[in-house]
Chain A
Amino acid sequence: MAARVLQQCVRSFARPSLRLCSNNLALRVTAAPAAAVHRPLSFAADSRRTRWLVQSRIPSVGVLCRQYGDLPPLTLETIKERVMYVLKLYDKISPEKLQTSSHFMKDLGLDSLDQVEIIMAMEDEFGFEIPDAEAEKLMTPEEIVQYIADKKDVYE
């Protein structure tokens, strides 16, 4: 068993190109003659470990890689689209008049209560809290996009 391990190690170090195919390793094990067995035990232990390491680093179709879940990356474009989408869903805004530079109070005729509701909808959409002091300054969709981009470190 130790001899087989040593053989695999020797062959994998000698022929790095064939390392990628695990089938070849199995074939080589069955067909190869016994190599020199006179090695110290510590080296055998190391080589067994390295053999597993070598084998696990083989990228066979991504089966052995670790996967993490995350949201799609934020860009200025996606932020703007999401902001406009949420604003279009708000019933007091008519979607035709809505633009990125339209002021909530001057152009769209909303009042401060509506603005609070809009900012809360943005908080829900993007998942982070906006403090009151800064929330009352955001009066156009453009400013909202800039603020979110600042907070989320999105630049282009």
Chain B
Amino acid sequence: MFRHSKLQKQVLALYRQFLRAGRDKPGFVPRIRDEFRENSRIKKTDVMHIEYLYRRGQRQLEQLRNVNTKQLGSFSKPKERG
């Protein structure tokens, strides 16, 4: 738990880069946090899945760093009353 494996360190470094890149653009940080939090639930032994998500995250980081990306928003369905 205290000594992170190589993969864990890479994931944490990716998280840090994401947070730094998404600081100035509105709407990214909550999404980043939720995404990483969701994926933290998968088991440590499932290396294939983790690596896949890691590569996907790197590609998304490049998209985020692109100058043309301005902000992130999402649509959600309102809760039904009654």
Contacts and interface: CB of A to CB of B under 8 A. Distances in A.
B40 interface: yes
A115 B46 CA distance: 23
B19 A111 contact: no
A143 interface: no
A101 to B, nearest CB: 17
A2 interface: no
A143 B16 CA distance: 20
The number of chain A residues touching the other chain, given as a range, is under 10
Nearest to B36: A113
Contacts of A105: 1
A119 to B, nearest CB: 8
Q: Tell me what chain A mostly uses at the interface: helix, strand, loop, or mixed.
A: helix
B16 A132 contact: yes
A136 B16 contact: no
B40 A116 contact: no
Contacts of A112: 4, 8, 12
Interface residues of B, number: 14
A5 B79 CA distance: 88
Given A116-B19, A120-B20, A136-B4, A111 B40 contact: yes
Nearest to A139: B2
Interface string B7-26: 01100110110011000000
B19 A136 contact: no
A116 B16 contact: yes
Interface of A: 105, 111-113, 116-117, 120, 132, 136
Given A117-B33, A132-B12, 12 more contacts: A105-B1, A112-B12, A113-B15, A113-B33, A113-B40, A116-B12, A117-B19, A120-B20, A132-B9, A132-B13, A132-B16, A136-B9
